[in-house]
Chain A
Amino acid sequence: MNKLWIDERYCKGCLICVDVCPTKAIKASKEINDWGYILPTEHDMNSCKACGLCELMCPDFAIAIEEVNG
């Protein structure tokens, strides 16, 4: 199952990644962080195909998918 990495220092909670993910592998979390942002979090990483669209469309270079095969 691939692993989702969010860099809380950079993410501003725009949630574009959640919207563009073709397999709905990630979703918006409930928590608000110190800067008042709602961060993306894992929803169903089994469905993640590591297509990289979330990384490609991220305005703040704050998301990365680590491919874990097998």
Chain B
Amino acid sequence: MKKHPMLKYLKEEGPLGQRMPLIMCPGCGAGQVLNYTLHAVERVMNEDKIGKENFLFISGVGCSARLTSHYLNFDSAWTIHGRTLAIATGSLLANPAFKIIVFTGDGDTGSIGGNHFIHACRRNIDVTIVCINNGVYGMTGGQVAPTTPVGAITTTTPYGNIEEAFDLCKLAETAGASFVARWTTAHPHQVIKSITKGLRKKGTAFIEILSQCPVHSKSSPVAMLRELKENTIQISKKKESGEGKTLIGEFCDLDKPEWNESYQKLIDQFDHEEGKS
């Protein structure tokens, strides 16, 4: 039996038994995002000769967060709702060499995690944030999210959502992240390219991936993936096409000081026996 090429990065079995399948609902975009992320990680490991032990996956709570739990053949942390970036900051202070991938969702980042999100970007800490935006609280039963469009019916907006949605990419860019991109689960190659770039980027890389939640939108995964393609327009062609479509692509790619890099200068002013390079 030939296995899926990325299964070698997952723990199908553990010493105490079966760990798979993933807990995701059939056709959920989050599983695809894990697939794409592992392709990007594999590319960075092989091309940049970075050992598997340097990678660290951190997730909060929600559907996106279940991508870590007990599946990954890497160091991983399935932690507190919204606090991934505070935890990531801690790990980076302990070991600035970590290649950290944060799996988070639109609620985990844009709602409860909002404060930590903007501060991580402001500090430009060296982390790759993979934000799976399905526009709803999936795990808890289809409640409204900060990215739910105005007018949408959800289990907590039965009469239509009256609140404007966040543009998470603009938020990240304004707060100071050095690399910001948005794709959808229907753009596998672009997602892999951006995550690879993010991993190689010094500083905060925020990659938002519009994703389908078939259960709470009462639609099929296939139909939703097609919609994700049709309702988005790549930034380079923005001028020709009209309004109404969501912009995708890489929005900013700056070279800015990374937090640990700057802090290392503070340390270097003192001579440490072992600190002297």
Contacts and interface: CB of A to CB of B under 8 A. Distances in A.
Contact of B36 (A13, A15, A37, A56): A56
A40 B194 CA distance: 30
A57 B226 CA distance: 13
A5 B5 CA distance: 12
Contacts of B214: 14
Interface residues of A, number: 28
A24 interface: no
| Contact-residue size bin, chain B (C-beta under 8 Å from the other chain) | 20 to 34
Interface string B35-70: 110010000000000000000000000000000000
Contacts, number: 84
A5 B222 CA distance: 21
B4 interface: yes
Contact of A14 (B20, B26, B35): B26
A58 B4 contact: yes
B225 A16 contact: yes
Most B CB contacts (10 A, CB to CB) among A3, A7, A14 go to: A14
A50 to B, nearest CB: 11
B73 interface: no
Contact of A13 (B2, B5, B26, B35): B26
Given A10-B20, A15-B222, A59 B30 contact: yes
B267 interface: no
A3 B3 CA distance: 12
Nearest to A20: B225
Given A15-B222, A16-B222, A57 B4 contact: no
B4 to A, nearest CB: 4
Contacts of B142: none
Contacts of A18: 222
Interface string B18-42: 0011101111111110011001000
Given A5-B2, A12-B27, A58 B221 contact: no
B101 to A, nearest CB: 17
A21 to B, nearest CB: 12
B225 A64 contact: no
A64 to B, nearest CB: 4
Contacts of B4: 7, 55, 58, 61-64
A18 B188 CA distance: 16
Given A10-B21, A59-B22, A59-B28, A64 B5 contact: yes
Nearest 4 CB-CB pairings of A with B? A59-B31, A14-B27, A12-B26, A61-B4
Given A5-B1, A12-B25, A53-B188, 5 more contacts: A10-B20, A15-B222, A57-B32, A59-B29, A61-B22
7 contacts: A14-B26, A19-B225, A59-B28, A59-B32, A59-B35, A64-B5, A66-B2
